[in-house]
Amino acid sequence: MKIMNEFQENGFAIFPVELTKDIILLQEVFENNYLVKFSDSTSTNRRIIKLFAEDPVVKSFFINNDLLQNIKELGVNYPVCCGPIVTHFTSLDSTGNGFGLNYHQDYPSMGSSINSVIVWTSLFDTTKDTHSISIIPGSHKLGVLPGVQSDNGYLVNKEYTKQAMILEVKAGNILVMSPYLVHATYINPNCKEKYKLSLSTRFDDLNDPSWKTRAYVNAYSTSVDRDIYLKK
């Protein structure tokens, strides 16, 4: 009930689910199998990071009975994943290039069930001293805010980005957000850590009646490059 109240009031909550062993496994898998393949090629490194999201241990992390039960208690009656697992790699080197998505809302990039949720976790502790995530508490109550759709997401107008809060989330803890919550990547220019890697995915509600009325549409589609095998 406390988590539900926090979620409804603030648009986010941190689940009391500590998947410490699971997150340590993810750290080891990334560092031993993906990070070691990094090279001087920034584009290749970024493709390697995206491939990590397809690793079976990453996929299984989000299909956790305790996690799914918590999602259901927040009102997602029948959780389904309509989008990919997304990697958020933040670093000050050429691979990360200090990039982070500015304040945005996720719902305009989803367009699916109105009671969907975003599930986010980090492979490492995130604090004000590291790279992290910044949110605008209570902004979810305003619905879709004025903004502009970009290639990276729906960026909201600056007047709605005041009173920001930098979250501190321990590795393996689960942050759940409303798709209407205004949030952004927090980049610390003085961060001494080499990188921050977090993961997120979106759960929609198959039993949402408004989604049924809209014929279960969502923003994601499959695109296949039939000539990729010809490229060197």
CATH assignment at residue 175: 2.60.120.620
C-beta atoms surrounding 5 within 10 Å: 10
Note if the pTM is more than 0.95.
no
Question: Whole-angstrom Cα distance, residue 206 to residue 76?
Answer: 8
Give a yes or no: residue 48 inside a domain: yes
Helices then strands (H, E): number in the chain?
6, 12
For residue 87, is it within any domain? yes
**What is the rounded CA–CA span in Å between residue 165 and residue 180?**
16
How many domains would you assign to the chain? 1
How many Å is the maximal CA-CA distance in the chain?
A: 55
Residue 232 placed within a domain: no
Rounded Cα gap, residues 213 and 164, in angstroms: 35
Q: Could you give the CA distance from residue 38 to residue 48 in angstroms, rounded to a whole number?
A: 8
Q: Is residue 219 part of a domain?
A: no
pLDDT tens series, the chain, 232 aa = 788 899 999 999 998 666 678 899 999 999 999 999 999 999 999 999 999 999 999 999 998 888 899 899 999 999 999 889 999 999 999 999 888 899 999 999 999 999 999 999 999 999 999 999 999 999 999 999 999 999 889 999 999 999 999 999 999 899 999 999 999 999 999 988 889 999 999 999 999 999 999 999 999 888 888 898 898 7
Q: How far apart are CA 29 and CA 135, in angstroms?
A: 29
Single-letter residue type at 222 = T
8 Å CB contact between 81 and 201:
yes
Q: Number of C-alpha atoms within 13 angstroms, CB side, residue 77?
A: 7
SS3 10: helix
Q: Is residue 112 part of a domain?
A: yes
CB-based contacts of 132, cutoff 8 Å, min separation 6? 126, 166, 167, 168, 169, 186, 188, 196
Answer whether 43's CB lies under 8 Å from 30's CB.
no
User: Is residue 44 in some structural domain?
Assistant: yes
Question: 109: domain range?
Answer: 2-205
Whether 211 is in a domain gets the answer no
Q: CA 186, CA 125: separation in Å to the nearest integer?
A: 13
The answer to whether residue 176 sits within a structural domain is yes
